[in-house]
Amino acid sequence: MQITTKLFASFRIGRFAAMPQSWPAGATVRQVVDQLGIPEGELGIVLINGRHVELGERLNEGDTLSLFPLVGGG
């Protein structure tokens, strides 16, 4: 299946901003994060199609996965 992974803030350094990727059906967020070499402890916000999810969540064809480190403002 095709998904789009989007990275933000410091996660972009040495990686990419947005990239379409092929994954086998049933792949989880954790698998994508591991493959990117992002330590789980550094993850702040994890969204699939704009909704907060846990690392065990399965991805579906056409999903957009957005990963942010812990950031804030206001």
Partner 1 sequence: MAERILRVNMTTLSGAFEEVPAPWVGLGGRALTSAIVAKEVPPTCDPLGKHNKLIFAPGLLAGTPCAQSGRLSAGAKSPLTGTIKESNAGGTAAQNLARLQIKALIIEGMPTDDSQFYGLRINKDGVEIAEEQALVGKGNYEVISTLMQRLGQKIGVLTIGPVGEMRMSAANISVRDPDGNIRSHGRGGLGAVMGSKKVKFIAIDDANGPGVAIADPEKFRSAAKTFAKAILEHPVSGEGLPTYGTNVLVNVLNEAGGLPTRNFRTGQFEGHDKISGETMRETIVKRGGKPKHGCHAGCIIQCSQQYVDEKGEYITSGFEYETIWGFGANCCIDELDTIAYADRMMDDIGIDSIEAAVIIGVAMEAGIIQFGDGPGTLGLLKEIGQGTPLGRILGNGAASVGKAYGITRVPVVKGQGIPAYDPRSVKGIGVTYATSTQGADHTAGYAVATNILKVGGFVDPLKNDGQVELSRNLQIATAAIDSTGLCLFVAFPALDIPETLVAIIDMLNAKYSLSLTGDDVIGLGKQVLKTEHAFNNAAGFTKHDDRLPEFFAEDPCAPHNVTWTMSDEEIDEFWNF
| DSSP collapsed to 3 states, 1-68 | CEEEEEECHHHHCCCCCEEEEECCCCCEHHHHHHHHCCCHHHEEEEEECCEECCCCCECCCCCEEEEE
Note whether 44 binds partner 1 by CB under 8 A.
Answer: yes
Binder of partner 1 out of 49, 58, 60, 62 (CB under 8 A)? 49
Which range of residues in 26-34, 46-54, 55-63 is near partner 1 by CB under 8 A? 46-54
Binding site residues, partner 1, CB under 8 A = 6, 8-10, 12, 17, 42, 44-45, 47, 49-52, 66, 68-74
